[in-house]
Amino acid sequence: MNEKIVQTSHCNIAIAESAGSASPVVLMLHGNSSCKEVFRNQLEGPIGAKYHCIAMDLPGHGHSDDASNPEATYCMPGYADAALEVMQQLSHTKFVVLGWSLGGHIGLEMIGKSDAVIGLMITGAPPVGMGDEAVSAGFKPSEHMHLAGQRDFSGDEVDAYARATCGVNAPFEAFLKTAVARTDGRAREMMFSSFMAGTGCNQKHAAEQSPVPLAIVNGGGEPFVNNDYVVSLTYDNLWENKVHLIEEIGHAPFWESPDRFDAYLDRFLEDLQETS
């Protein structure tokens, strides 16, 4: 796995690339207060050995710098622009996005901004509409949900958020907690407030009217996402014509059960390979 820094107008972005060379290229976007290493099982496993995978630390996360202009970057359009700029700098004109949680919402923003994205797989990211009621419909009440937009964390909150988001039954490693503690608190606060204010696209419409194949693979035991809501939407371009649920798995199925998740990801990439 090769790691390097990519200079963008938002900040210096840290990335990790797998050794695989097959197309399509895959850009992996992590969740709120996480980091690129959460995709380690994909980067270092069979998926990364086969496909050229790139995982990036979002601005204000991991080994990337904090945003030089937080107001412009710490929102869905800003993150989407930063991700597209990374891929432009790497000279990838066509690629697939795998987005987890916040990363999935960023992916939904990206498909309306650039035709470089030829496919999108989201996990743990309900495509919600505009306004408080529409956003709430996609999520379950949770004791940890308020932390998603909270600027400053106590030590206990860092630990609780890291464990809850990656799955209570998932392997827990120190880097998950380190990533939460490192995150620029402004990134949480500004992203959440701008999302609730309607900044960016209507994600329900983006998902339902996606111009590219959209794969949705969620944990069946999601603690945060209302899977009934996700299944109920009417999609024009839903991969395999269904929302896939991996039973007894939580918010980060690619981390909690990589073998089961990767079977879907590999099949999705193979289908895109055949149609591209």
Each residue's pLDDT tens digit, 95-131: 999 999 999 999 999 999 999 999 999 999 999 999 9
The per-residue pLDDT for 273 is 87
| DSSP-assigned beta bridge partners for residue 22 | 51
Whether residue 275 has pLDDT greater than 80: no
Q: Is the separation of the CB atoms in 119 and 238 below 8 Å?
A: no
pLDDT at position 145: 78
pLDDT digits (tens, 9 = 90+) for 31-73: 999 999 999 999 999 999 999 999 999 999 999 999 999 999 9
What pLDDT does 276 receive? 56
Q: What is the mean pLDDT of residues 78-89?
A: 98
DSSP letters along 35-92, please?
-GGGGHHHHSSHHHHHEEEEEEPPTTSTTSPPPSSHHHHSSHHHHHHHHHHHHHHTT-
CB burial of 145-179 (b: ≥16 within 10 Å; e: otherwise) equals eebbbeeebeeebbbbbbbbbbbeebeeeebbbeb
pLDDT at 144: 73
Strand partners, 32: none
**What is the pLDDT, as a whole number, of residue 171?**
86
* Ordered domains of the chain (ranges, CATH): 2-275 (3.40.50.1820)
Residue % of the chain over a pLDDT of 90: 90
pTM of the model: 0.97
- Residue 147 pLDDT more than 80? yes
What is the predicted pLDDT for the residue at 113? 95
Give the model confidence (pLDDT) of 153-212 as tens digits: 999 999 999 998 987 778 899 999 999 999 999 999 999 999 999 999 999 999 999 999
Residue-wise pLDDT for 215-250, tens only, equals 999 999 999 999 999 999 999 999 999 999 999 999
Give yes or no for a contact between 185 and 152, defined as CB atoms under 8 angstroms apart.
Answer: yes
pLDDT at 167: 77
